[in-house]
Amino acid sequence: MKKRHRRPDNRKLFALILILLLLLAVMAYQSQAQSQPVSLPVPDGSQFSVHFIDVGQADSALVQCDGEYMLIDGGNVADSSLVVSYLRSAGVDELEYVVCTHAHEDHVGGLSGPLNAFPVETVYAPVTEYESRAFTNFSNYAQPYGGIQIPQAGDSFMLGAAKVEVLGPLKEYEETNDTSIVLKVTYGSTSFLFTGDMEEAAEHDLMDARTDLSATVLKAGHHGSITSSSYVFLREVMPKYVVISVGEDNSYGHPSEEVLSRYRDVKAEVYRTDMQGNILAVSDGETVTSTSQSKPQWPTNPTEGQQPSQQIDKPAYIGNSGTMKFHKPDCASAKDMAKENRVEFFSRQEASAQGMSLAGGVSRKGSGRCRCP
């Protein structure tokens, strides 16, 4: 009796191939979705800006969107009154969020002043206790607002039309710098990445978790130290701009020349508070424009042998902090303005972000016609 040979079940084979193809398609879609930057709708009349406040060898940034404010770090204890004054000049009357990225004094020290000067909705920090007077004072001033809240990676909240995502820390670290709260703020198709003093170990953990780190603007980790901004991390972020908050002629040698070289490699334009003072970044949801104080403009990340330029940018408008109006530089009101009220702007958008409006009509002193409109 002859044995029958079973024919291959083509239907089963076809089904297996189909399932395999579907799985590959799903994986490819998920990979593509993860690599695509998030884009949020921007309502008409919406405004967004980030102020990188010059607090020397320390960190402080104010994020503003549609009349809501988030303060990230406050510099050293000695910077507290400076930060409060800056916030008031920026039109802040309430802070929706105050974020202490980590417990080191050059980040938490100056936050007690703003917590005392303004109503606050929520206070974030990676820990509730730390053995330092600066952190203890910060914790005490946070008590009227429900005390310190510890955000978790994956949390998110809205600041006006901007979305704020908590990316890290992903776990507990012995190194305080690596405990830094990492925030990604997305406005339209632009985004800002704040990393505190996060170092390489935490950077690699974020990459291992396949976190979307892409950003238009990167606030340099740890003041441009060699311990942060690893090359592979920067290749994930691919920032168009990098802002380094750093003190002039600091004893740490920040920013590191090797790190500056890495920024050049990813073709990022570098802004530095030690060279340019306060830095304002304004987004319209599609592009980011950055301006700084009227200091001499020179290459902030030059290649070896490149010499600084002594050209000074001329302001496009002159603001009056007393009247909250801004004028053209050749306006009579601008020329007669008291020095202590004089604020220089390089664009209308920058002046508007500070809460000022364009002046018009006869100048206050009657010395000439205001030709600002």
Q: Are residues 221 and 278 in the same domain?
A: yes
Higher pLDDT, 29 or 321: 321
Containing domain of residue 102, as a range? 48-292
Distance CA 151, CA 169 (A): 9
**Residues 222, 252: contact at Cβ < 8 Å?**
no
188 within some domain: yes
Q: Are residues 168 and 236 in the same domain?
A: yes
Residues 6+ apart with CB under 8 A from 251: none
Residue 28 has pLDDT above 90, yes or no: no
Identify the DSSP state of 5. Answer: P
Amino acid at 15: A
Interval 249-266: pLDDT, tens: 899 999 999 999 999 999
Mean pLDDT of the chain: 85
Segment 149-161 mean pLDDT: 97
Segment 197-211 mean pLDDT: 96
pTM: 0.73
Q: Which residues pair with 217 in a beta bridge?
A: 192, 241
Interval 87-135: pLDDT, tens: 999 999 999 999 999 999 999 999 999 999 999 999 999 999 999 999 9
Q: Are residues 360 and 254 in the same domain?
A: no
18 within some domain: no
Distance CA 229, CA 301 (A): 15
Interval 207-262: pLDDT, tens: 999 999 999 999 999 999 999 999 999 999 999 999 999 999 899 999 999 999 99
Q: Are residues 276 and 328 in the same domain?
A: no
100 within some domain: yes
Number of structural domains found in the chain: 2
End position of a domain, from candidates 241, 258, 292: 292
192 within some domain: yes
| Highest mean pLDDT: which range of 10-14, 281-285, 353-357 | 281-285
Interval 279-317: pLDDT, tens: 999 999 999 998 876 444 556 776 554 443 333 345 677
94: tokens are: 């309430």
Residue 20, phi then psi, degrees to nearest 5: -60, -45
12: tokens are: 């089963």
Segment 182-198 mean pLDDT: 97
pLDDT more than 70, % of the chain:
79
**Position 331 confidence tier, pLDDT thresholds 50, 70, 90:** confident
Count of alpha carbons within 13 angstroms of residue 143, beta-carbon side: 7
For 193, 282, 323, the CA distances from 186, given in Å and listed in that order, are: 9, 13, 33
User: Distance between alpha carbon 186 and the CA centroid of its chain, in Å?
Assistant: 10
2 within some domain: no
Segment 332-342 mean pLDDT: 79
No. of H helices and E strands in the chain?
A: 11, 21
Q: In the chain, which residue ranges form alpha helices assigned H by DSSP? A: 10-35, 80-89, 105-108, 112-117, 133-142, 200-208, 231-237, 257-265, 273-276, 332-336, 348-353
Q: Which residues pair with 292 in a beta bridge?
A: 279
| Mode of pairing for the β-strands spanning 217-219 and 190-194 | parallel
Q: Is 176 exposed, middle or buried (0-12, 13-18, 19+ CB in 10 A)?
A: middle
Site of tokens 């800056």: 86
Amino acid at 191: S
Q: Are residues 62 and 202 in the same domain?
A: yes
Q: Are residues 117 and 223 in the same domain?
A: yes
Site of tokens 């005390």: 147
Residue 207, pLDDT score: 95
**H or E segment and range at residue 167:** strand 162-168
Q: Are residues 149 and 97 in the same domain?
A: yes
372: tokens are: 């600002």
Q: Which residues pair with 122 in a beta bridge?
A: 97
Segment 310-331 mean pLDDT: 71
Q: Are residues 203 and 349 in the same domain?
A: no
20 within some domain: no
Residues 6+ apart with CB under 8 A from 20: none
Residue 101, pLDDT score: 98
**Position 348 confidence tier, pLDDT thresholds 50, 70, 90:** low
Q: Are residues 208 and 172 in the same domain?
A: yes
The DSSP code sequence of 70-103 is: EEEEE--GGGHHHHHHHHHHTT-S-EEEEE--SS
Q: Are residues 212 and 278 in the same domain?
A: yes
Residue 322, pLDDT score: 79
Closest CA to 180 of 225, 147, 150: 150
**H or E segment and range at residue 271:** strand 269-272
Residue 309, pLDDT score: 37
Q: Are residues 218 and 352 in the same domain?
A: no
333: tokens are: 């009101």
Residue 70 has pLDDT above 80, yes or no: yes
Q: Domain with 112 in it: what CATH number?
A: 3.60.15.10
